[in-house]
């Protein structure tokens, strides 16, 4: 029964992953941001990422003692948080008015980041147990803590925002969420085609480089959009 539930969830997880890649790519590439194509593909992307997070949480519930699923849970939080926050910022067009669940989400990714940091340092001291996951825990711990820090500053009114803050905030968050989806794709596909003697750094690169590539591409799109709308 456990295996049937796992395989069923895995199938749903993969389908949601494919949908997130396609829908997210369409939303990012659509010329008219805020148009029907952008909005509808964005909705598909949002809920696909939600399904990915839920199934990742389910994997952890089934195998809580397995390091891989402990790591995947933290990555699931890193992936879904910017997706959630990117949608929420659209509800704060007129003013920054966070609700209790906005604070809960921001504190949650912060706590997750602290846990990942602890895992990472523990892994450096015990590489025979954690292995290459130690470096990944540290990298994504920084990403998590930065997300928590910047958003909590915003929610507590420590940041001066302009009238178009929600546009760039939404774009930045959703770009981060798409980078996570693209990274997951690369991690599952690329290693299958790497030579057997590929050094560990090659496998680590499949976790890190996709995010950098999407980040650079997303930043270019944001700058072009900002210039078009004359947003400072």
Cβ atoms of 153 and 143 within 8 Å: the answer is no
pLDDT band at 126; cut points 50, 70, 90: confident
- Nearest residue to 48 via CA among 8, 7, 12: 12
pTM equals 0.85
Q: What is the pLDDT averaged over residues 53-80?
A: 89
Query: pLDDT per residue over 214-228, tens digit each?
Result: 777 767 766 666 666
Whether 187 has a pLDDT exceeding 80, the answer reads no
Distance of alpha carbon 76 from the chain centroid: 7
Q: How far is CA 72 from CA 29, 76, 143, in A?
A: 28, 6, 15
96 touches 154 (CB < 8 A): yes
Half-sphere exposure of 108 (CA within 13 A, CB side): 18
- Both tokens of 180, joined, read 């996570």
Phi, psi (deg, nearest 5) at residue 94? -80, -35
pLDDT at 124 > cutoff 90: no
Q: What is the mean pLDDT of residues 164-184?
A: 84
Mean pLDDT of 52-81: 89
Q: What integer pLDDT is reported at residue 80 of this predicted model?
A: 93
Give 146's DSSP letter.
Answer: H
Local confidence band at 52 (pLDDT 50, 70, 90 cut-offs): very high
Instruction: Give the mean pLDDT of the chain.
Output: 85
pLDDT tens string 154-164? 999 888 777 77
SS3 85: helix
Place of tokens 């130690």: 134
The pLDDT score that the predictor gives to residue 12 is 93
């Amino acid at each position: 029964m456990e295996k049937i539930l796992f395989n069923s969830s895995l199938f749903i997880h993969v389908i949601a992953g494919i949908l997130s890649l396609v829908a997210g790519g369409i939303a990012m590439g659509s010329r008219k941001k805020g148009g029907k194509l952008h909005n509808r593909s964005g909705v598909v992307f949002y809920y696909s990422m939600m399904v990915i997070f839920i199934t990742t949480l389910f994997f952890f519930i089934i195998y809580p003692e397995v390091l891989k699923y402990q790591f995947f849970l933290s990555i699931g939080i890193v992936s879904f948080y910017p997706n959630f926050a990117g949608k929420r910022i659209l509800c704060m067009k007129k003013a920054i008015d966070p609700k209790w669940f906005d604070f809960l989400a921001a504190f949650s990714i912060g706590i997750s980041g602290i846990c990942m940091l602890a895992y990472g340092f523990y892994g450096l001291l015990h590489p025979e147990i954690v292995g290459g996951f130690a470096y990944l825990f540290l990298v994504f711990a920084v990403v998590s803590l930065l997300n928590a820090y910047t958003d909590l500053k915003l929610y507590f009114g420590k940041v001066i925002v302009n009238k178009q803050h929600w546009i760039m905030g939404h774009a930045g968050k959703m770009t981060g969420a798409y980078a996570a989806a693209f990274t997951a794709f690369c991690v599952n596909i690329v290693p299958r085609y790497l030579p057997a003697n590929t050094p560990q750094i090659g496998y680590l690169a499949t976790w890190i480089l996709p995010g950098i590539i999407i980040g650079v591409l997303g930043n270019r799109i944001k700058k072009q959009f900002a210039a078009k709308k004359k947003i400072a």
